[in-house]
């Protein structure tokens, strides 16, 4: 039995054949149809090498190592992503499966593909820009979230100008693309706690100026998701500095008080979880305290009647009772 099973092709031959076929597709020459077939066929052969088939096991580590080396040395990963829109439907899925498999590959504690992508960040930026193109957005999202699991790659993405395009991608009109973009956005802002906290602290004004647009979006899903994520970010202990800054701004408090009165009960509920952080802060700045005092009676009355049907939700009712007590007991700060 030959080393490379039925395909008979070595990793070098497969990668060379695939690169030639993709380059032919990219040029759009007369043989485009043949190139499309060759791309699909070679992608399947590479995928089978990595995953095996119903009849055959995946290839040995030596073969997979050769394959990975060829993918790096020929820059094929970037070429595939740059031409993803030219590859057929099944081929797009195969590219994502191959990419994610090679990305997860470890040698001891090392992740060679992660190290390789760190030297070729264009791979990440091309994937991020995939959200601009409806036909490849979801495939790119699958690969991006796999990349986001690795702190070194998440750091490159967070600290890039391209990251701020997510504030646009999460609002696109196609629901499944906007949702997918939001999943990637959330992953980048929450997975690596210390990295995320440092990023938010260093870029506070820019991030939260953009974030305010999401909270005021005309798209209900965008508003609800971004409000829920805001609550999670503020309540994460790693983000204490960011939380303190956010709850010291009276404009943010006014926004949450308005969102408490929204038509949508879901948005009211998520706003409650951000509003409670303002009230629970033992060191309220004077502008925050002044707003709460001005609205003291109204707030007590409003919260007493707020979501009274959630009788089963003990935590919510405890928090609500605590807020009502805190607001009732508010007193003006002594003059300095």
Range of the domain at 182: 12-160+177-191
What is the pLDDT at residue 2? Answer: 46
Tell whether 19 is covered by a domain: yes
Find out whether 200 and 207 touch, Cβ atoms under 8 Å: yes
Tell whether 207 is covered by a domain: no
Q: What is d(CA 156, CA 153) in angstroms, rounded to the nearest whole number? A: 5
Of the candidates 93, 97, 83, 96, the one whose C-alpha atom is nearest the C-alpha of residue 35 is 83
pLDDT digits (tens, 9 = 90+) for 226-247: 999 999 999 999 999 999 999 9
Tell whether 56 is covered by a domain: yes
Of the candidates 196, 125, 193, 195, the one whose C-alpha atom is nearest the C-alpha of residue 163 is 125
Tell whether 168 is covered by a domain: no
Tell whether 286 is covered by a domain: no
What is the pLDDT at residue 61? Answer: 86
Q: Say whether pLDDT at 101 is over 70.
A: yes
Tell whether 90 is covered by a domain: yes
The DSSP H or E segment spanning 47 is helix 32-51
Of the candidates 10, 32, 9, 12, the one whose C-alpha atom is nearest the C-alpha of residue 22 is 32
Tell whether 290 is covered by a domain: no
| Average pLDDT of the residues of the chain | 93
Overall average pLDDT of the 278-299 stretch: 96
Q: What CATH number should be reported for the domain holding residue 83?
A: 1.25.10.10
The domain total for the chain is: 1
Place of tokens 């005309």: 218
What is the pLDDT at residue 220? Answer: 92
pLDDT digits (tens, 9 = 90+) for 178-190: 999 999 999 999 9
What is the pLDDT at residue 33? Answer: 82
What is the pLDDT at residue 4? Answer: 47
Tell whether 316 is covered by a domain: no
């Amino acid at each position: 039995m030959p080393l490379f099973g039925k395909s008979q092709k070595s990793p070098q031959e497969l990668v060379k054949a695939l690169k030639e076929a993709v380059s032919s597709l990219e040029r759009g020459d007369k043989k485009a149809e043949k190139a499309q077939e060759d791309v699909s066929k070679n992608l399947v052969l590479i995928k089978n090498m990595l995953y095996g088939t119903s009849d055959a096991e995946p290839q040995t580590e030596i073969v997979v190592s050769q394959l990975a080396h060829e993918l790096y040395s020929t820059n094929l990963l970037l070429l595939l992503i740059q031409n993803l829109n030219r590859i057929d439907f099944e081929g797009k899925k195969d590219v994502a499966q191959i990419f994610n498999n090679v990305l997860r590959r470890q040698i001891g504690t090392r992740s060679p593909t992660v190290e390789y992508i760190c030297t070729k960040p264009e791979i990440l930026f091309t994937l991020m820009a995939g959200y601009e193109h409806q036909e490849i957005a979801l495939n790119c999202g699958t690969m991006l979230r796999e990349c986001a699991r690795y702190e070194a790659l998440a750091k490159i993405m967070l600290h890039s100008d391209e990251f701020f395009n997510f504030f646009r991608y999460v609002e696109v009109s196609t629901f499944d693309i906007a949702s997918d973009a939001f999943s990637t956005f959330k992953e980048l802002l929450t997975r690596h706690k210390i990295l995320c906290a440092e990023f938010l602290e260093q870029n506070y004004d820019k991030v939260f100026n953009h974030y305010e647009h999401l909270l005021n979006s005309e798209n209900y899903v965008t508003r609800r998701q971004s409000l829920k994520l805001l609550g999670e970010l503020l309540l994460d202990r790693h983000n204490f500095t960011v939380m303190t800054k956010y709850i010291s701004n009276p404009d943010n408090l006014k926004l949450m008080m308005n969102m408490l009165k929204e038509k949508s009960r879901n948005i009211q509920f998520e706003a409650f979880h951000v509003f409670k952080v303002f009230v629970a802060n033992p060191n309220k700045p004077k502008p925050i305290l002044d707003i709460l005092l001005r609205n003291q009676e109204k707030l007590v009355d409003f919260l007493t009647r707020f979501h009274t049907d959630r009788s089963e939700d003990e935590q919510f009712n405890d928090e609500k009772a605590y807020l009502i007590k805190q607001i009732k007991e508010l007193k003006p700060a002594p003059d300095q």
